[in-house]
Amino acid sequence: KLALDSHKLTQAVNKGFDVRDQDEAYWVDHKVCSHATGKYMNFDGFYIEHESLIQSKYQQVSFYEYPELHDKCLELETTVQICANYRPYYHEPFVHFPATLLPSLPRRVVFVGGGDAMLLQEILKYPSIEKVIGLELDQVVVRNSFKHFNTQPHFDDPRVEWWFGDATKTLNVLPKEYFGSFDLVLIDLSETVMSFTVTKSLNVIQALALLAKPDGIVVKNEHYFSEFSKIFDHTIELAHRTNPVICDQHFAMGSNRVDFMKPQFDRVEGIETLLYKPLQNRT
């Protein structure tokens, strides 16, 4: 069980969270998972500012706020992507558990999706990082996540490189030397995007897998054990069942050389995290 007080975690996650004055708003209902019942319940109390409902070139981007809980959520079209209070349950294991399985500390990481820049925040906690590539469809998501979540996109960091637009097209124009050069490939994409193809012979997962080093790891949110097993020599799927918003979260990991049964938890020692810690380090 988590060794953290939920109220303290909320305050820690939202440290520096800026709740802006609301002039006009209307009430909406969201659905989140209830651990008590195992069923969905209304996300009562959240509302949206009119100025926080944005129609970009690609999609409708919305930010819903619940000032009493010091929380705010990002929605793309009609799907909630992330909430401020929920982010360590999702982004910390997404980055830090795969890092414990690498043969050395991560130096080069690519993430796909993740326009809220929360994955980027976790990646840059490693002093070993030399290059981070972000493939994100919509620059509007990145800039407005900075406004609403205070998540830095680190545009001024020479180690960070953003490629905006359709990832299936971006993958065709990335420098050749990028392929086979990344320690971690983190895929945070919707099911719709995963059905797209990059070339006549490669789907999105197959193309992204080519970015990983032979001893690198590819990570995808949700159930992808079957698909990964067709691509990688070694595949594992993790289930996190302590998430406060959606209850269960699954991560599939694939590699051609990494032994997933031998994590080195000392890799995350000294990395500042709110939630994810090896059991022996919990207080």
Q: Which of 156, 183, 188, 215 is catalytic?
A: 188
Distance CA 15, CA 23 (A): 24
Active site residue 166: no
Token representation of residue 262: 């031998």
What three-state secondary structure class fits 63? strand
CB contact burial 108-123 (16+ within 10 A = b; e otherwise): bbbbbbbbbbbbbbbb
Return phi, psi of residue 3, to 5°: -95, 45
Distance CA 39, CA 247 (A): 10
Concatenating the DSSP letter of every residue in 39-57 gives SEEE-TT-EEEEEEEEE-S
| Whole-Å CA distances, 3 to 34, 36, 91, 130, 247 | 20, 19, 18, 33, 17
**In this structure, is the dihedral angle defined by the CA atoms of residues 228, 128, 3 and 66, taken in order, positive or negative?**
negative
Cβ 93 vs Cβ 251: under 8 Å: yes
Cβ 141 vs Cβ 116: under 8 Å: yes
Measuring CA to CA, which residue among 183, 262, 261, 178 is closest to residue 215?
183
Please identify every residue annotated as catalytic: 188
